[in-house]
């Protein structure tokens, strides 16, 4: 069995992955954390996103959206 490595990424990476501006991500993180994948706070100001967690979160969002679209039919 291979162990999957955790890779921590910064907000710039997340903004590129989600095609959102950094300011939008920072605003959403302050206002409504449910709009974004979970993040880690390191120290007082360093925010990091685990790449695997983000990918899992995106998959879940896609599944939720597909279920909602199919439910309406």
* Beta carbons of 8 and 49 less than 8 angstroms apart: yes
How large is the average pLDDT for residues 29-57? Answer: 94
The pTM of this model reads 0.78
d(CA 3, CA 35): 29
d(CA 61, CA 59): 5
Q: Is residue 38 predicted with pLDDT exceeding 90? A: yes
Q: What is the DSSP letter of 37?
A: -
């Amino acid at each position: 069995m291979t162990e999957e490595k955790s890779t921590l990424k910064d907000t710039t990476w997340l903004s590129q992955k989600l095609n959102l501006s950094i300011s939008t991500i920072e605003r959403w993180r302050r206002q409504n954390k449910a709009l974004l994948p979970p993040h880690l706070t390191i120290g007082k100001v360093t925010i990091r996103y685990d790449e695997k967690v983000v990918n899992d979160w995106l998959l879940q969002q896609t599944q939720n959206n597909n279920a909602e679209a199919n439910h309406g039919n």
